[in-house]
Structures are given as C-alpha cells and as structure tokens.
Amino acid sequence: MTDISQIGGVILAGGKASRMGYRDKALLHLHGKTIIQHVIDRAKPQVSSLLISVNRNPQRYKELNLPLVADVTNSYEGPLVGIYSAMCWFQKPMNNQDMKYLACFAGDVPEFPIDFVKLLTTHLDRGSVKIAYCSIQDHIQPLFSVWNMQLIPEIKAAIDRGIFGPKLLFGDIENVQVDIRSSRPGSFLNINSIADLHQAERTILEK
C-alpha cells in the first residue's frame, strides 16, 4: 500500500468559468465559506502536500496559504494542462517532493468522499494501471482521479497534440474506473451556474 507521503494533490481551479459569467466559481460562498475552502478541508487530509492550479486572481488565492501553480502553457487550455503543471511542480528539486502519485480535485465541487484517494491509489498499486478515476451511479468524474507521476512525458505529448481534457487521454493509457459509494447528499455536485449554487445550498449539508 502506498504511503500518503508519496501522494501529492492539486485542486484544479484554473478554468474560465464561462457558464458562471466568468466569475471565479471557487471563490463563491457556500454555507459561510468559499467553495474552494470546502474543497481544501476535504482534500488536505487525503494527500501529503496540496497545490492549487489557478490562472487568475492569484492575490485572492494566496490567502489560502497553499502553493499556487499557473498553467505552464497558455492559460485556460484545459484541466489536463493543470494536471501536467502540478506534476512539473512536484518534480522540481527545490520543492524536495518525492511523489509517486498526483491526486486531483475539482475546485468547483465542494462535496466528495474523504477517502476516495486511498481507494483509487489501491487500484493503481496493482499491475500496470496508471490512472484511476471516480464514478458515481455510472456518471464518471474524471477530475477526481489519481495519476502515476511517470505519465509526465505522455501527458506532455498529448498536450502538444492539442489534447486538453483528461478523458481524451484515457484511451491511450491503462486506467480503471472506480465506482464510489457515498451516502452524503450532493456528492460530486459540480457548481457551474448560480442555479447549481442554489441547489448546493439546499442539498449539501452545512458543516
């Protein structure tokens, strides 16, 4: 079993948020705190070190006291670039990180299981599987995933070919879809609009 010290994490919050009128979704408030603070609270115990992938408003994200990583290529190309940028950060000698896996969390999804990284990593420790990702009731959640750090060259090559979404890479790399059971209401609810935010306020339990 992989030790948590070998698992780094990234919150993917670097998108344009066009469906939210270009407002920074992760900084909207839900039950008295920002959405991204909800994400941090549930993600941080699952990894040894946590980053935020962000391409705008860095001064506001600095208040969260976590390392910020901007896309290493042109901003806003897609979450695969955020994943690649986080992997590159962990590989820098100055960061003194010896990570085997990268766990990914969506910056606009405030409710998700607090043990999914452990479950996905267990699948990665078997055989040649390099990516494990969540699904719930047959709906896949590709941003809630764990990636083997050895994939850096493959991911870079995919980005160079114009592939920017994680799902588009799944056909080329051995992966596993893991169905997640969760009894908590609102699990994996993606907040893309004001209507989604209102639904989250009604559905997700106040902490």
**pLDDT tens digits, one per residue of 112-136:** 999 999 999 999 987 789 999 999 9
In whole angstroms, what is the distance from residue 133 CA to residue 141 CA? Answer: 7
Mean pLDDT value across residues 66-94: 88
Reading the block at residue 83, the tokens are 């994943």
Regarding beta strands 68-69 and 49-53, do their DSSP bridges make them parallel or antiparallel, or are they unpaired? parallel
Mean pLDDT value across residues 71-98: 84
111, 164 in Cβ contact below 8 A?
no
Q: Could you state, in order of their start, the residue ranges of all structural domains in the chain?
A: 4-203
80 Cβ contact partners less than 8 Å away, ≥ 6 residues apart: 155, 158, 159, 163, 164, 165, 166, 168, 169
In whole angstroms, what is the distance from residue 25 CA to residue 161 CA? Answer: 29
26, 107 in Cβ contact below 8 A?
yes
pLDDT at residue 17 is higher than 60: no
Q: Which residue has the tokens 């670097």?
A: 14
- Tell me the pTM: 0.93
Architecture of domain 4-203: Alpha-Beta Complex (3.90)
Q: Which residue has the tokens 């820098």?
A: 92
